[in-house]
Amino acid sequence: MQIKKNKLGLLKDHDVTDEKLYLNRRQFINKAALLASAAAMPSLAIAENGAPAAAYTELPKSPFSATEELTTYQAITTYNNFYEFGVDKGDPAKNATQFPDKSEPWRVVIDGECDNPGEYDLDDLMKPFALEERIYRLRCVEGWSMVIPWIGFSLADLLKQAKPNSKAKYVEFSTLYNPQQMPGQQSSVLKWPYVEGLRIDEAMNPLSFMATGLYGNDLLGQNGAPLRLVTPWKYGFKSIKSITQIRFVEKQPVSSWMIAGPAEYGFYSNVNPNVAHPRWSQARERRIGELLKRKTALFNGYQEQVADLYTGMDLKKHF
């Protein structure tokens, strides 16, 4: 399949974002870039939530947003699962300080069963999409959770631009493979590059989100910069980080964690308190910043939006 390298990305004249929205997006990115090194500047004012105060740009709010108290910026950016930078929760924040390499544009390949494949600069890829803020719960399989104000755009809008054909039943995502930038990839803890996938109707669900920032700032390396998936009704490992390839496929992808532990990590990875991990229960969770545990909600509390995706399925078999 021929891959286009086109500075205009997926754009057509009638797809270009309204100028006001586009300027707002650029204003956000420029402000975030100026504050990217905020953690190293002790004189910068810090808001109550721990985020650099001047960086918290107001953007349109999503009707899907949760209303719970937000997890602090400090916790979100220092307590992370990102094995490409180490297996301990504090490793990504320590090892991703120079990631991604800003000297080269971030490239994303879109290919497979679609009519509009290509390789695109991320900035160009984003042009048709107005950024918004979505406050989503993130539930991790180890039993902890956060509430995060993500910045980004709808995954469905991006996939529609690629025009998947009738053979496209799933969407497969891949993370950057670069052991020099990502020292964790020098280990054999997982098969690299990291791969995840969604059924195409899951990917097209309005909740599925492509995040480029959080708390009004650009994503940091430890949070999956510059582009990550957020599927809030699934466990956090499903929301693949630092994406470089999006592929439409006919057969169900085999994800990295399915290879590493097929008895523990299924393809769907839906938050389900009734399906225990083989080594621990998923019935309760601890919200970061809280002392006591709370009950885990089916589909992480997003049952109304996603339950119909799994009508008739045995959720203990399709875990």
pLDDT digits (tens, 9 = 90+) for 15-63: 434 434 433 443 444 344 334 333 333 333 556 666 665 555 667 888 9
User: According to the model, what pLDDT value does residue 61 have?
Assistant: 80
pLDDT above 90 (res 92) = yes
Q: Is residue 50 part of a domain?
A: yes
Residue type, 116: N
188 belongs to a structural domain? yes
Statement: residue 295 has pLDDT above 50: yes
Check residue 143 and give its pLDDT.
Answer: 96
In order, the DSSP letters of 124-187 are HHHTT---EEEEEEEE-TTSEEEEEEEEEEEHHHHHHHH-B-TT--EEEEEE---TTT-GGGGS
- Say if residue 123's pLDDT is above 60: yes
Residue percentage of the chain with pLDDT more than 70: 82
pLDDT of residue 33: 38
Structure-model confidence comparison of residues 95 and 14, the more confident one: 95
Which residues have C-beta within 8 Å of that of residue 253, sequence separation ≥ 6? 170, 172, 195, 196, 197, 267
Cα(79)–Cα(93) distance, integer angstroms: 8
What residue numbers bound the domain in which 102 lies? 13-141+148-270
Out of 64-68, 145-149, 178-182, 270-274, pick the least confident: 64-68
**What DSSP designation does 114 have?**
B
Residue bearing the bigger pLDDT, 69 or 27:
69
Number of domains in the chain: 1
Specify if 265 maps to a domain. yes
Q: What is the CATH number of the domain that holds 70?
A: 3.90.420.10
pLDDT tens for each residue of 225-243: 999 999 999 999 999 999 9
Q: Is the pLDDT of residue 304 over 90?
A: yes
Question: What is the mean pLDDT of the segment spanning 197-203?
Answer: 98
Confirm whether 119 is domain-assigned. yes
Predicted pLDDT at 62: 87
Q: What is the pLDDT of residues 127-163, one digit of tens each?
A: 999 899 999 999 999 999 999 999 999 999 999 999 9
> Is 293 domain-assigned?
no
Residue-level pLDDT at 49: 66
Q: Which residue intervals of the chain are DSSP H helices?
A: 19-34, 73-76, 91-95, 122-126, 155-162, 200-203, 256-260, 303-306
In a domain, 278, yes or no: no
Answer for the pair 212, 100: CB distance below 8 angstroms, yes or no. no
Whether residue 5 is contained in a domain is answered as: no
Q: Please give the model's pTM, rounded to 2 decimal places.
A: 0.85
Q: How far apart are CA 157 and CA 17, in angstroms?
A: 12
In a domain, 282, yes or no: no
Long-range Cβ contacts of 105-109 (<8 Å, 24+ apart): 106/226, 106/227, 106/244, 107/244, 108/227, 108/243, 108/244, 108/245, 108/246, 109/3, 109/244, 109/245, 109/246, 109/247
Say if residue 2's pLDDT is above 70: no
Q: What local confidence, expressed as pLDDT, does residue 38 receive? A: 38
Check residue 272 and give its pLDDT.
97
pLDDT of residue 22: 38
pLDDT tens by residue, 245-279: 999 999 999 999 999 999 999 999 999 999 999 99
